[in-house]
Structure 1
Amino acid sequence: MAFLGLRKWPTPVVKPLWTFMVAGGITGYLVYGAQQSGVRSAEWRTDARNPYAAQIARESLH
């Protein structure tokens, strides 16, 4: 008998979707790496539109 719509055995959610969660994490990591390499490229390193220009300049002094 269902009590307030809850079953005795819960419906599996994580088990069938673990591959998509892992793929999402890998995709996020690769996009982050591409963004970091693009921001730190020689073309964009000193560009005024780069929000990380000051941080990159400070790191290059050390």
Structure 2
Amino acid sequence: MPDAPKTGPFGLNPIRIMILAMGALVLLISIGMFLGGPNAYQALKEANAAATQPTAEQLSGE
């Protein structure tokens, strides 16, 4: 009878691969939440565009 090859304590099996994949997914979601998502990026672009345009006070020379 051949013995099953022993894997070390850090060997990958299907359950550990699934846990690693779930951890990676949680990490991606956390990074997305930290950065504010796509809506925050759109708001940042709009604020940058508004900041580069002169205001009414600047146009009147006051």
Question: Common fold, TM-score beyond 0.5?
Answer: no
Task: Calculate the TM-score normalised by the size of structure 2.
Answer: 0.41
- Kindly indicate whether structure 1 or structure 2 has the higher relative contact order, using CA contacts under 8 Å at least 6 residues apart: 1
Task: Calculate the TM-score normalised by the size of structure 1.
Answer: 0.41
Structure having the larger proportion of residues in helix? 2
**Structure number, greater radius of gyration:** 2
